[in-house]
Structure 1
Amino acid sequence: MAKYYGNCLVVDWTLIDIDTMFNEVIGDVVKQTLDPFMSNIVQHVLEFGRDDQRLKIVRKLTQHPDQLVEASLDSYGTKCVQKLISTHNSKKEIALVSYSLLSGFLYLVMDLDGNQVLQRCLSCWSVEDNEFIYDAATRFCYAVATDEHGCCLLQRCIEFSNGNSQQKLVKEICKYAFHLAQHEYGNHIVQYIIQMQNPSAIAELTAQFNGKYVQLSMQKFSIHVVEKCLEHIVETRARIVQEFLAVPYFENLLQDPYANYVVQCALKFTECSVSDRAQILEQSSESYPTDNVKREREEKDTKQLYRFLPQSGSSHVPLAIIKVFDARISNLRDNREQKASKDAHFIFGDSGIGILRETRHNYKSWSEDGKVLKKSCDIQEEVRECH
């Protein structure tokens, strides 16, 4: 019936009757699910056995709630429990299994094998049958979101839930959004919610982040949340740029190992004067100008800058903010010592050099596309208002 091929034991299931296998495992089914070989037999009975045989195995496993949890946490037992969940289930079986799993919910969430059992429930059962998972995830939201495996489960809960269950879960997550954004695992669930584009969730997130974008941009994990805000929440772009320009140490942000990426992201998604910004930065790396040349170049750069500003009514950053943003970056060149003139590395530091590369890349793409930005009376009128 069974032969060894190398280190693997292969069973010829056609030579074994289902009833024989059932009688073999039903005596101590909990112990059998943890055995490397017998667990395969348990899985075979669950898949091909009769409904009454399946129900007897379920009752044995759920006789004590901790028995099913113990099996779910084992590397072999988890395969049996997942097979039980994925095969056809009656309402009685689902009720018994869900009650037992709920008793050890946090243990399952924070374990690799146990987490897979809960995710199998989400993918195989209906929303109504998984209500116990959604309620528990909402109740222990912060603990689940800050766990290595729990953050993945929380994303799957949002994905498979709907209606009131999903709304309650997202609302509870948003309560801790600012703290989760700074956590190594919690930031992933905040990014996921931002990508959902849920209006009520976006309003709650932006309310917590307003005034703190610079703080979030200077941290290893929350930087990804700020980048997602720039990418998916158009309304926050002007606010983020404003907060960056308001800090007195803007040059330090360009050299910060994390914040400089947010500046690059802002340059990318605001889509404002991309070609001209590249030209200004390239010129700044060539030489350090004298006072007269600086004034002439500054006037020339300013005039060129406004030729390429976006038209009124667009969803881009307001013109006044763009003006200050570009001017602050350009003025960094004038505030540095003369010996730092020829190399962009000396002008912007190790991290800030990425900003120069980003603008040059955008300028190259803009040129290759053959797009021509033309003057218009509306743009000129807005430029006069900015002055």
Structure 2
Amino acid sequence: MKLETVRGEILSLCKDQHGCRYLQKKLEERSPENVQLIFLETCQHVVELMTDPFGNYLCQKLLEFSNDEQRTVLINNAAPEMVKIALNSHGTRALQKMIEFISTPEQVSTIIRALTHQVVELIQDLNGNHVIQKCLNRLSADDAQFIFTAVGNSCVAVGTHRHGCCVLQRCIDHASGAQKAQLIAQITEHAFHLVQDPFGNYVLQYIVDLQESCFTDPLCYTFQGQIPQLSKQKFSSNVIEKCLRGADPSVTRVLIEEMLNLNELEKMLRDSYANYVVQTAMDYADPNTKTLLVEAIRPILPAVRQTPHGRRIQSKIMALDGQGRFSGSGTPNDRSSGQVPLTSQMTTTHQNHSPSVNGYSQSMNNQFATPFSGSYPQYPTGQSHPMANGSNFAQYGTELPQQSSYGRLPQVNGNFF
């Protein structure tokens, strides 16, 4: 059937499943006459068609095969209702295609004017947030300034939203140097609110993962004075651990010093979240700070030894003592990549590389553990392990315990294995 035979009926065909497919095939023939005929009968109805279950597919195809002049007319006709289109489950697809094919400064300006006053509303919508992300992908950093301004001024509303926290991270990705610095400064200003939120905490972790001290250090100092409190909360404890791993050693030292108060430290060791913060602090502290932290923990151990958290901490300290790491020769973990990378030899179960005495494996959680290619013989109960420093172990008993719970597995780049 030639397209001319349906002249005057094209709009109704756009809303029909079979008619829409027929018109799409005619557009794919790349005939300028066909494109012009379909364009003339649909351009005034673009809002209606973009939100139609079938018509939106025709609009997407028309935007792909139309020329710049035709595309400009379609964008101008859609502009007054562009937010409505973006919020629609069908319209969001057609609008993303429209943004994908913009090609002139005039078209860019029309898109910006249509969306600029309702950026936050779009970000918080299931459909609309994809339109904003398409703008970030398609527009230059300068053209996307209207998005950075909106999210920066409403970073709490955006960052604490299920969809908004993802869009805020994409904004950080696409912003230029000055734009990124401004946006992160606004986020840092509200960090104490974001850090305790189920979604906002991911935004702060993302900033730390940039591994740029000019962003990480000010963020860490925002939490100064509240480290024990934030460590005992589910969401903020993850951010504090991330800060201990990613901040400069001098900043990490400041954070750890807040934990050295015996009353607070005991509460942290007993807490189901804060005890992991303490373990991370032990892993990433410089040698002098590590010594201070371990010596502060020792008097508390008898009171918490019977708890699962206490046993893990005790195991970590015994492993450090056994390797003599408090002589000042130890070095903290590599901060550029989290834990010391595992070699291929160590990617098997950690029991294969941990000296075993009477069924007890020395903890491999500490950062100074080294690959162990062989295996030590079993020793009868009561005999010291040949690799143990007898004088150090004597402070806590001459025998290693018969059984031990591994508790939380060691982390590699923030993940458990």
TM-score, scaled to structure 2: 0.67
> Which residue matches 1:323?
291
What amino acid is the match of 1:19?
Q
Q: Secondary structure at the match of 1:231?
A: helix
Change (3 A) 1:91 1:221: same
Aligned length: 307
> Which residue matches 1:50?
67
> Which residue matches 2:254?
239
Q: Is the contact made by 2:195 and 2:204 (CA closer than 8 Å) also made in structure 1? A: yes
Change (3 A) 1:127 1:217: same
Q: After superposition, what is the alpha-carbon deviation per residue over 1:44-94, rounded to whole angstroms, capped at 9, x for unaligned?
A: 0111112121111111111x2xx1001001111001110011114211011
Write the distance in 2 (CA, Å) between the matches of 1:245 and 1:333: 14
> Which residue matches 2:198?
184
> Which residue matches 2:369?
366
106-115 or 163-172: bigger deviation: 163-172
Q: Is the contact made by 1:254 and 1:348 (CA closer than 8 Å) also made in structure 2? A: no
> Which residue matches 1:11?
21
Change (3 A) 1:38 1:365: same
Change (3 A) 1:357 1:85: farther
Superposed displacement of residue 357, structure 1: 6.7
> Which residue matches 1:332?
300
Write the distance in 1 (CA, Å) between the matches of 2:221 and 2:290: 23
Superposed displacement of residue 356, structure 1: 5.5
Write the distance in 2 (CA, Å) between the matches of 1:99 and 1:181: 34
Runs of 4+ in 1 over 6 A off after TM superposition: none
Q: Is the contact made by 2:301 and 2:314 (CA closer than 8 Å) also made in structure 1? A: no
Equivalent position to 1:159, from 162, 173, 183? 173
How do 1:80-91 and structure 2 match up within 5 A? 80-91=94-105
Write the distance in 2 (CA, Å) between the matches of 1:29 and 1:164: 38
Q: Is the contact made by 1:85 and 1:124 (CA closer than 8 Å) also made in structure 2? A: yes
83-92 or 348-357: bigger deviation: 348-357
1:219 maps to 2:236:
no
Superposed displacement of residue 368, structure 1: 2.6
> Which residue matches 1:32?
49
Superposed displacement of residue 333, structure 1: 4.1
> Which residue matches 2:224?
210
Unaligned runs of 5+ residues in structure 1 are 2-7, 271-315, 337-346, 374-387
Write the distance in 2 (CA, Å) between the matches of 1:94 and 1:367: 57
Root-mean-square deviation over aligned CA pairs? 2.7
Write the distance in 1 (CA, Å) between the matches of 2:96 and 2:264: 55
1:264 maps to 2:274:
no
TM-score, scaled to structure 1: 0.72
231-240 or 125-134: bigger deviation: 231-240
Q: Is the contact made by 2:216 and 2:246 (CA closer than 8 Å) also made in structure 1? A: no
Superposed displacement of residue 317, structure 1: 4.0
> Which residue matches 2:113?
99
> Which residue matches 2:12?
none
Unaligned runs of 5+ residues in structure 2 are 2-16, 28-33, 320-362, 374-386, 388-417
How do 1:286-301 and structure 2 match up within 5 A? none
Change (3 A) 1:39 1:239: same
1:116 maps to 2:74:
no
Q: After superposition, what is the alpha-carbon deviation per residue over 1:170-214, rounded to whole angstroms, capped at 9, x for unaligned?
A: 111111112211122111111122222344433422332122111
Superposed displacement of residue 155, structure 1: 1.2
> Which residue matches 1:304?
none
What amino acid is the match of 2:78?
L
Q: Is the contact made by 2:301 and 2:310 (CA closer than 8 Å) also made in structure 1? A: no
Q: Secondary structure at the match of 2:56?
A: helix
Q: After superposition, what is the alpha-carbon deviation per residue over 1:159-179, rounded to whole angstroms, capped at 9, x for unaligned?
A: 111132222111111111122
Q: Is the contact made by 2:87 and 2:127 (CA closer than 8 Å) also made in structure 1? A: yes
Write the distance in 1 (CA, Å) between the matches of 2:50 and 2:91: 5
**Matched residues, percent identical?**
32
Change (3 A) 1:357 1:60: farther
The structure, 1 or 2, with the larger RCO (C-alpha pairs under 8 Å, 6+ apart) is: 1
> Which residue matches 2:266?
251
**More helix as a share of residues:** 1
Write the distance in 1 (CA, Å) between the matches of 2:368 and 2:191: 36
Q: After superposition, what is the alpha-carbon deviation per residue over 1:270-308, rounded to whole angstroms, capped at 9, x for unaligned?
A: 3xxxxxxxxxxxxxxxxxxxxxxxxxxxxxxxxxxxxxx
> Which residue matches 2:78?
61
Change (3 A) 1:204 1:48: same
Change (3 A) 1:325 1:39: same
> Which residue matches 1:379?
none
Q: Secondary structure at the match of 1:28?
A: helix
Equivalent position to 2:155, from 117, 141, 152? 141
Write the distance in 1 (CA, Å) between the matches of 2:53 and 2:191: 43
Write the distance in 2 (CA, Å) between the matches of 1:196 and 1:152: 15
